[in-house]
């Protein structure tokens, strides 16, 4: 029995206990309360482990699969990649450099990093990406005011049909921000590993980019970093797209209301984004037909579903349920635009960490992102209650 099946079994037991108490119109006994709390804690633990294992699956594969890149085994490794490898080893310093003296990595190297980030972050895999050749802004057009409704008229109107004067478009600027991460690797790892050094560095950079990209898409402030969907902003998802709960507790009606606030075209491609803590609160919720609204994904790669729509658990989604806080977003993430500069600059810092038998590598990337169509998203906010 895998962990998803273990979790589903525990949730079924929690539901059975909950339904029995409801049927008998009574509260849990002290012993039942303890059993319920222990099972619920185990469910939360398993949920966190499942999310972590799915995130690490591809990264772990880097160190256990092929000892060399596929292209290299076929004798197809590019000259640029050979030069880049020599630079990472400290054997060569005179290759193409970036703004601060770091090596510009070959495009195939960057492509592998981006592919790995998409594999490991379902959220990043959903957003629409625009590669830029240099760190200049990308204008993202959006509808700032909707057109007025159509009106009925006679076959031959008495006066000219007036043109719509309310429809308006504006432009959001996505200006790639600087993203920097310093990683350190032991001398021994580089010398004894069967893997080429660029793969070791790539693994570490990928791991850190996943965290930075997902954090930006969910919780970014929009100031010197991407604008996240959990951040209320007229330039992204405004407060007019909020669905406020009636009280402190999240209910099935809140989730249904959020789902129905999206137009069908967006709803078909929508994903829930929430923390494991908030998702756990949904396990016992039922709709008006007495049906549970959460369905577990039982196999690897199969997402959990809430009201029939896939759920993405994010470590960067809010988990605090205080009045006025945001706890979940539902959206069509093809309307979240991500602009990034093609290429990745890497600086090797051999001397700086030599006394600790380590090699430092500083990866520098440039990216920005924001939601570009407010109506494609809906967000749940905790209400004050009565």
Residue 84 has a CB neighbour count (10 Å cut-off) of 24
Whether residue 174 contacts residue 226, with contact meaning beta carbons closer than 8 Å, is answered with: no
For β-strands 305-306 and 294-295, DSSP reports them as: antiparallel
Looking from the CA of 113 toward its CB, the CA atoms found within 13 Å total 28
pLDDT at 321 over 50: yes
CA distance 368 to 266: 23
Range in 28-32, 67-71, 91-95, 190-194 the model is least confident about: 67-71
Classify residue 8 by burial, with Cβ atoms within 10 Å: 0-12, 13-18, 19+.
Answer: buried
- 3-state SS assignment for residue 130: strand
Structure tokens at 295: 């369905």
pLDDT tens, 86-114? 767 666 554 444 555 556 666 667 777 77
Residue 19 has a CB neighbour count (10 Å cut-off) of 13
pLDDT tens, 4-16? 888 889 998 999 9
**pLDDT for position 120:** 73
pLDDT bin (cut points 50, 70, 90) of residue 312 is very high
pLDDT tens, 278-291? 998 898 899 888 89
E runs forming strands in the chain: 103-104, 128-132, 138-145, 168-174, 177-186, 242-244, 271-274, 294-295, 305-306, 309-313, 326-331, 336-341, 345-349, 358-371, 377-381
What residue has token string 């001397």? 351
pLDDT tens, 229-251? 999 998 899 999 999 998 888 99
φ, ψ of residue 260 in degrees (nearest 5): -75, -10
Does residue 218 or residue 208 have the better pLDDT? Answer: 218
Which domains does the chain possess? 75-143+168-225+338-369 (3.30.2400)
Average pLDDT of span 17-39 = 89
**pTM for this model (two decimals):** 0.73
Range in 113-117, 235-239, 362-366 the model is least confident about: 113-117
Longest dimension (CA), the chain: 88
Nearest to 83 by CA among 103, 98, 67: 103
Mean pLDDT, all residues of the chain: 80
């Amino acid at each position: 029995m895998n962990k998803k099946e273990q979790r589903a079994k525990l949730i079924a037991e929690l539901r059975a206990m909950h339904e029995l108490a409801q049927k008998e119109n009574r509260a849990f006994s002290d012993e039942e309360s303890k059993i319920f709390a222990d099972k619920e804690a185990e469910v939360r633990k398993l949920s966190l482990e499942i999310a972590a294992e799915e995130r690490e699956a591809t990264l772990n594969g880097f160190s256990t699969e092929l000892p060399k890149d596929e292209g290299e085994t076929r004798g197809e490794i590019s000259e640029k990649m050979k030069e880049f490898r020599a630079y990472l080893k400290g054997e060569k310093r005179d290759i193409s450099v970036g703004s601060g003296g770091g090596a510009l990595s070959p495009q195939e190297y960057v492509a592998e990093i981006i592919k790995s980030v998409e594999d490991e972050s379902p959220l990043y895999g959903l957003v629409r990406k625009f590669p830029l050749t240099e760190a200049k802004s990308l204008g993202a057009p959006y509808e700032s005011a909707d057109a007025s409704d159509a009106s009925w008229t006679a076959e031959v109107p008495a006066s000219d049909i007036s043109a719509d004067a309310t429809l308006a478009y504006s432009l959001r600027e996505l200006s790639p921000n600087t993203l920097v991460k310093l990683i350190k690797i032991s001398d021994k790892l580089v010398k004894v590993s069967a893997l080429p050094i660029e793969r070791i560095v790539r693994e570490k950079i990928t791991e850190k980019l996943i965290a930075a990209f997902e954090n930006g898409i969910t919780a970014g402030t929009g100031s010197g970093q991407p604008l996240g969907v959990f951040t209320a902003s007229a330039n992204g998802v405004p407060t007019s797209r909020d669905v406020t709960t009636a009280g402190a507790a999240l209910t099935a009606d809140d989730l249904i209301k959020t789902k129905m606030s999206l137009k069908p075209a967006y709803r078909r491609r929508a994903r829930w984004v929430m923390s494991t803590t908030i998702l756990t609160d949904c396990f016992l919720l039922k709709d008006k037909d007495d049906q549970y609204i959460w369905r577990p994904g039982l196999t690897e790669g199969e997402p959990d579903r809430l009201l029939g729509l896939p759920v993405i658990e994010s470590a960067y989604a809010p988990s605090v349920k205080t009045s006025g806080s945001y706890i979940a977003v539902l959206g069509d993430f093809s309307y979240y635009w991500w602009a990034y500069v093609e290429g990745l600059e890497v600086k090797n810092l051999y001397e700086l960490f030599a006394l600790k038998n380590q090699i430092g590598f500083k990866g520098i990337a440039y990216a920005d992102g924001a939601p570009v169509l407010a109506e494609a998203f809906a967000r749940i906010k905790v209400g004050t209650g009565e």
